[in-house]
A and B are shown apart, each in its own frame.
Chain A
Amino acid sequence: QKEVEQDPGPLSVPEGAIVSLNCTYSNSAFQYFMWYRQYSRKGPELLMYTYSSGNKEDGRFTAQVDKSSKYISLFIRDSQPSDSATYLCALGGGSTLGRLYFGRGTQLTVWP
């Protein structure tokens, strides 16, 4: 079983839609939960960073962590064509301190 599972998509939505992206994980020791956005042939950029559980909101983006279900989510409200990218979840902490485990990434297209 992989440490982190993420549906690769692709996901295609109209502009203005609410997007939900998800990852599941197996290591209950993970404490750090991140979402990265990667445009084609660019380096990933950190979008959301959460320590432990709960929700975090930043503008149109909301990250949720449910440690009991080992499930994390990223919601994008009022999606824009500029949100079209690949979104990667990344988890770490506990005995894996110093390295992160990444999901495969979900490719998102927002069409006007």
Chain B
Amino acid sequence: DGGITQSPKYLFRKEGQNVTLSCEQNLNHDAMYWYRQDPGQGLRLIYYSQIVNDFQKGDIAEGYSVSREKKESFPLTVTSAQKNPTAFYLCASKTGDNEKLFFGSGTQLSVL
């Protein structure tokens, strides 16, 4: 059953703590993306990666870090430098053939 799996579904962060959101895809897609969604704000791009071992900053990369060691995996770390991390985080992927983006089910991150 092909798709994009995000975990956990809900995550709580204490002040000063780094947390990592997981994103795994078995669609054999080359490119992967992380978006942040705040109520009424639409989707804002955090980081994206078009090939393994390479990634680019999006529009709101400060306070976040990523790695792309495997084609299937693109974890996002929300660092303590991100002062307002409460949001719904979405991972997405696509092939290189077209611009159709497919999304995971999201992770809701909240601050304790």
Contact = CB atoms under 8 A, between A and B. Distances in A.
Interface in B87-112: 88, 90, 92, 98-106, 108
B31 interface: yes
Interface stretch (A11-19, A53-61, A62-70, A85-93): A85-93
Given A43-B105, A99-B45, A32 B90 contact: no
Contact of A103 (B42, B45, B50, B90): B42
Contact of B90 (A6, A43, A98): A43
Interface in A8-64: 8, 32, 34, 36, 41-46, 49, 51
B43 interface: yes
Interface in B55-112: 58, 88, 90, 92, 98-106, 108
B42 A46 contact: no
Interface residues of A, number: 25
Contacts of B6: 43
A110 interface: no
Contacts of A32: 98-99
Contacts of A41: 88, 106, 108
B58 A99 contact: yes
- Give the 7 A-B residue pairs with the shortest CB-CB distance, closest first: A43-B103, A104-B42, A32-B99, A102-B43, A92-B99, A43-B105, A102-B42
Interface of A: 6, 8, 32, 34, 36, 41-46, 49, 51, 88, 90, 92-93, 97-100, 102-105
